[in-house]
Structure 1
């Protein structure tokens, strides 16, 4: 059963709507809970119209667009229901509605475009009587809906298979029988009979194995038989390798020898030759950020540089050269795919199909996940079908601009990426005199080996530069060396003397060893930071695969117990489809498992991303697009090197430029 159906103009005017349940009517009447408003804000405006459907608050929402008349047809229903006729319903009502009311709709859209003033538009809308203009549409809609529902019921019944009648009970066959056991009948069978039947099947299976020479022989066990077989065939097993013992010399070890074997305490800062450690190697001065007038330290922007021509700013002369190359049998660079469209016309799906296919292949070459590239191209195509264009250059510009606009909308975050502002806002917000302020906490999560600890230390360097006192919580209690790795980072950062301009800042490590509960350690660390006036707590967690449910539950427990201010997913720039799978499953698991019964908070998902190994992908930055598309959350930083200064922030325009470059 449907919950809601509506027909709206892209400008926000609802031409017709119908709610089928009281709950749907109440939700739709409230702009804050209306599923249609969520669809417009989180899908259409952000360029995600290529999605098959959109889910929000238990609703599944499907839609279709009519670009010529700027209409949006929307159907909403309960997500748990499997309504197979929704797509057919949208197609049918779209065709019927346009056929019946196209003259009225064309006049209405033209009148809206003629008025630029919002107040004049509002006054014009009051003069339109949609109920009279669409008189009789409710009856037609009911007929279409009932016809599709009846057809679905009939198809479901016709596809149902015949009832299976079971006749014979299981009878244990003899050893020399060549048939399989028969299926039991509907006659009641007691427990003893069931046990005998199961044992008969086991005996039957063992009998098959014995005939094939895979079971035990009468002369002994399977192991003995295998050994005998090995002996007969002349196969001898190699002895297991034993551990090589350490050989000591005849002379007593010196103090230097003992020092190299002493791993119980931190060593002084010595390099491999016994000299002082070169701390300048930990900071690349060319990668250092800049201090603004307010004294804040900002990391550098990642900038894309390409000696070739840009996708968007290609000149007409270059396009003509590509068109000539196409005539000779080669499409050349990406821009040449748009040469397929010429003339003045209304764009159709057939016109755009080869263009969108070339666009999809280009995005996949940029390391965009295939399913994401499909959805983006579908969304661009839906926005172009029915648009009037004229001339080669106009068509080229139209399609290019549509893709650029779609990518920009997807990459533009719907939440703030200013982490410094978030931290300062929390630390400066007023509190009751009896309440002690909690530090700002950030949890770093991700799969194994992506560089969580290393990039956590880079973020710590950035925070110390801005005068924050940072506590690093070693909550990776599983991986050997994880605590020692953080200890080395803390030691290096302490010796670099990178405090803020006012002399404040610093870093300390909070650790409780290995094998402990990570959620409990994080809670202790936040309490310790609160008592000792730390500003920020960076929580390092153990890497885990996204499909490991017990480990994902443990991570969700850490999140639910400590309610961090930011959950940062750390992923690699080198992966395409895998990044989508990792991020989506981490986000889903955190939302599901952190809201289980007994937890005091609502489900939390990923709040932001940090993409590592960014310097290895050049202009193939599709992972940024894929990861942002999945969650709608921003990429706050990218890691691009081995020193503490190798941290960058992304600008949407730079990523779009890299994605569209040939």
Structure 2
């Protein structure tokens, strides 16, 4: 059953709406309406990676009529699988335009004739939509009733087929079975056939009961095939398990000197730490990739350089200008590249209104180009659909005008998707919290950041890079070892803390007080360790707590629930998803399921109610060249920014992304 339908103008004026339940009517009038969220988050910001938009248990689908500037929206509960929604949207568009196109065209023309939004809104109130669209209510009711009846008949047909198939599959072979075709649902069954079906069902039920009771209970068919399989399997001898043989490392027991040479676990002498600073400093810090100091002394990491030999700090305006330059059609003759636009548009001459048929080959070429840049296929399709929806119905003239219109539309769409809706200045967020006034009886809490992701993407390594950046900005950092599952996870963080203590601020060394490791060993509750670490940081004047979590696959529900528990119990200030730049479509699946699991499982209780991913850190960025589609895919899914990218093996190999540079790299042939 539907919850809400509406027809609106792109300017925000609702021409007609219908709510089917009291809750839906109340929700539709509130700011938390899924339709309002759709307009704000999906249509205006252009961020939705699926065929439908989901919000607070509702699924929303929509369709445009660009020449009349209309938006048709249908909302229903996400748990319901309504198969007729797309047919309903298509039929609504066709019927509404057929009966009310002159009226809507006059209304849109009147809005365009005024100069400011306030006057347009006042003028819209003078139009009597209720009287004009009174006939539409009857048309809509008939349309909806017909589609619901058709969907109900389809469900009943599928149910009859599903019930009939097990009966036919379980019927034992018989000499006279060919007299009744098994695949003919209308053929009558005689008494013997019905009796055989009933006997087969009883036999299957007995077989199921035997399997529940013990492994020996098998369903016995008249052919005896199951019995033969059982006897054959029982006749096979069981494989004997070989006992483990103790490993021998040598003919003789190791001496104390041998054991000492193999001991890498702890600092054996204070002198070894002092010598390490000069001996291994070059392997920990790459001087060429060090960031810069601002006028007020803040340490900023470098911007990622796509230009290969040109300066990385180009102005954003110059980067956008380069991205919008017409591509050389002669230099790019491949069928699927953006360079093919020239040959396609050369056939379009004179002034005309763009249609779907005109744009179809262009959008296909655009989709292929985005996929070559490692953009996930479904997201490339949605981006191209958005560009097409904005261009269909527009009047353009001449080859150059059409070419520029498509390029500008694509660049604008990519820029809108990649532009973050929240601040990417992590240092500003930290200093704002640390400097905010507090009551005299309240102790200041540290800024906490949780790093999450699948196994092996580099969470611990890139956490240490972020820690180096924070130390260079004069902050005291506590690293919480909450990966209590993977062997060596705590020891890995201990090595990072030792190295970072040697480096210090500005490479001056002796910064043991600026970074510490908080660990409670293995096999403990990660949420409890994080809570203790935050309390320890509060009592010992640490500024930031970096929480390292165990890697887990996005489909592992028990582990995702445990991660959601850590979030709901500790309510970290930032949840950063760490993903790889190489995995393409898999990164989208990982990020989507992590975000949804955190929101669903952390909403049960705790201060972190409904928390999702707040930002991303993409690792192995130096391996993808200009195929930076992972950035577009990951930002498109959540609408959250990419805060950093990892690009090497030293603590200085951390970079920031500029939107203009990413757009330029994606548009580049």
TM-score (norm 1): 0.85
1:363-400, Cα deviation, whole Å (9 max, x unpaired): 11111112221222222222222222221111111111
Report what 1:546 is aligned to: 554
Between 1:440-449 and 1:540-549, the stretch displaced more is 540-549
For residue 136 of structure 1, give the secondary structure of its aligned residue in structure 2: helix
Partners of 2:82 and 2:104 lie apart in 1 by 30
Which of 621, 639, 645 is matched with 2:628 structurally? 621
Match of 1:216 in 2: 235
Q: Are residues 433 and 374 of structure 1, via their aligned partners in 2, closer, same or farther at CA, if it must alter by over 3 Å? A: same
Deviations 1:624-650 (A, max 9, x none): 111111222111111111221111111
Distance 1:380 1:267, change over 3 A: farther
Q: CA offsets per residue over residues 108-139 of structure 1, 9 Å max, x none?
A: 22232233322332332233332344342222
Report the secondary structure of 1:462's partner residue: helix
Residue 167 to residue 146, structure 1, CA distance change in 2 (3 Å): closer
Q: Are 2:600 and 1:592 equivalent residues in the alignment? A: yes
Give CA-to-partner distance per residue, 1:490-543, whole Å, 9 cap, x none.
122112121699x99811111122222222211111111011011100011122
Listed as ranges, the gaps of 5+ residues in structure 1 are 174-178, 225-236
Deviations 1:549-608 (A, max 9, x none): 232222222222211111111111111011112111222222222234x65642322111
Q: Is the 8 A contact 1:442 1:566 kept in 2?
A: yes
CA distance in 2, matches of 1:397, 1:196: 72
Residue 231 (structure 1) aligns with? none
Cα drift, residue 156 of structure 1: 3.5
Instruction: Write the mapping of 1:176-575 to structure 2, written as runs, cut at 5 A.
Output: 182-185=199-202, 199=217, 201=219, 207-209=227-229, 214-216=233-235, 221-222=237-238, 243-248=247-252, 257-263=258-264, 265-267=266-268, 277-305=279-307, 312-315=323-326, 318-319=328-329, 321=330, 331=335, 333-341=337-345, 342-343=348-349, 344-498=351-505, 506-575=514-583
Q: Secondary structure at the match of 1:554?
A: helix
What is the distance in 2 between the residues matched to 1:193 and 1:405? 61
In the TM superposition, residue 472 of structure 1 has moved relative to its aligned partner by 0.7
Give 2:585's aligned residue.
Answer: 577
Contact 2:578 2:617 in 1 (8 A): yes
Contact map agreement 1:2 1:20 (CA 8 A) in 2:
yes
Q: What are the within-5 Å matches in structure 2 for residues 18-167 of structure 1?
A: 18-30=18-30, 32-48=31-47, 51-161=50-160
1:197–1:592 distance in 2 versus 1, CA, 3 Å: closer
TM-score, normalised via structure 2 length: 0.84
Give the superposed CA RMSD. 3.8
> Unpaired runs of 5+ in structure 2?
174-195, 311-318
Count of matched residue positions in the alignment of Structure 1 and Structure 2: 626
Contact 2:336-2:365 within 8 A present in 1 as well: no
Change (3 A) 1:512 1:45: same
CA separation of 1:187 and 1:497: change in aligned 2, threshold 3 A: closer
Give the structure 1 partner of residue 6 of structure 2. Answer: 6
In structure 2, the CA distance between the partners of 1:337 and 1:559, relative to structure 1 (3 Å rule), is same
Contact (CA 8 Å) 1:467, 1:499: kept in 2 or not? no
Cα gap change, 1:193/1:349 in structure 2, threshold over 3 Å: closer, same or farther? closer
> Deviation of residue 270 (structure 1)?
5.7
